[in-house]
Amino acid sequence: MLKGFGAKLKALFGMSSFDEQYFETLEDFLIEGDLGAKLAMDVSDAVRKLAKSAKSKTQRDLQLLVKSHLEDKVSVFSHELDEKMPTVFLILGVNGVGKTTSIAKLANYYQRQGKQVLLAAADTFRAAAIDQLEVHAQRLGCRIVKQKNGSDPGSVVFDAITSAQAKKEDLILVDTAGRMHNKENLLRELSKIDKIVKGRGIDDAHYKKFLVIDSTTGQNGISQAELFNQAVALDALILTKYDSLAKGGALVQIGEKLHIPIAYVGTGETYADMHPFDKDEFLDTLVGLTD
C-alpha cells in the first residue's frame, strides 16, 4: 500500500552521487509530492548535510532522516466511547470523497466493538444520499433517522440525538451535505448544527467533527481541510483510498499547517476496511522504508 511516492524516494536515496543537481532534484521531487516548498527545502538541506558529512551513510540512513523531519508534523487522533451519553460524530466532506461509505465503515467498526450505532441522514439536499445511507443501515442492521428530501438538516440531527438518548445508543454518525460551500454558508449551516447538538446536552468530549479526504487528491485535500477548519474546528481526518495514495506529503502539510490529526483510514471496498491510522506505517511507507 501507499506505493509510488515512497518507491521513487527510495530509489532516489539509492543513488551514490550527491552533487548539487541531486539535491535540486530531491527538492523538486518533494515539492511535487505535496510536502510544500518550505518543508521540502528543510528536508533537502538536512539530507545534504548528512550526505556530505564524513559519517558513513546508507540509503536507510537518508530515509530515517527524512522520517525524523516529518514525525512531528503528523499526529494520531483516538477517541473512546463511554456510556454517559451518546457520542456524535459529525462527518464532513465534499462530494465524491467517499463520505457516506466511510460512515458505513465506521458504523461497522464500532458495531464490532459491541456499540449501538445510529445513522443520521442530514444530507437532505440529495435524495440519493438519504437512500444510500438507508441501504447501508439495512445491510448493517443499525437504525437510521431520516426525513424527506429538502428537510432541515438540523431537524434531522435533533431527532437523531433525541432518539439515541431515549434508546441509550452509543454513537450517532451524522452524514452532511457534500457540496463545496463558500465559507459563509458552511459556517452558517454547521453553526446551526453545533447549537442543536450542544442544546441536547452533548458536551465537547462527546461531539467530534471529522473531515473525510480522498488521500490521492494532493493540494485539493489541503484546500478542503483549510475551508472546513475555518468554518468549524475540525477534530480529525478520515482518509479514503489510502491504499492507492500517491502524494502523502499533502497529509503532512495539513498536519504542519492546521495541526489536524488523522483518525481513521479506509483501505478497501468492504465494511471491514476501516482502521485506526497507523503513523509509523504511514511515514515508513512515505519515505520508502517498507515495500
Local confidence pLDDT in tens for the 291 residues of the chain: 445 677 788 888 888 778 888 888 888 888 888 888 888 898 899 888 888 786 767 888 888 888 998 999 999 999 999 878 899 999 999 888 899 999 999 999 999 999 999 999 999 888 889 999 999 999 999 999 999 998 999 999 999 999 999 999 999 999 998 776 566 777 788 888 989 999 999 999 999 999 999 887 878 888 889 888 888 889 999 999 887 666 678 888 899 889 999 999 998 889 999 999 999 988 888 888 875
- Bridge partners (DSSP) listed for residue 266: 274
Beta carbons of 203 and 86 less than 8 angstroms apart: no
- The dihedral over CA atoms of 268, 271, 272, 276, expressed in degrees to the nearest 10, equals 80
Residue reference for cell 490529526: 261
Quote the pLDDT of residue 47: 86
**Which amino acid appears at position 220 of this protein?**
N
C-alpha 88/C-alpha 218 separation (Å) is: 29
User: C-alpha grid cell for residue 210?
Assistant: 471529522
Beta carbons of 163 and 132 less than 8 angstroms apart: no
C-alpha 284/C-alpha 280 separation (Å) is: 6
Handedness of CA 208, 133, 101, 273 (dihedral sign): positive
Give the tens place of pLDDT for each residue, 170-217: 999 999 987 765 667 777 888 889 899 999 999 999 999 999 998 878
Name residues whose C-beta falls within 8 Å of residue 128's C-beta, 6 or more positions apart in sequence.
none
Quote the pLDDT of residue 245: 60
CA-wise closest residue to 32 among 220, 223, 284, 247: 247
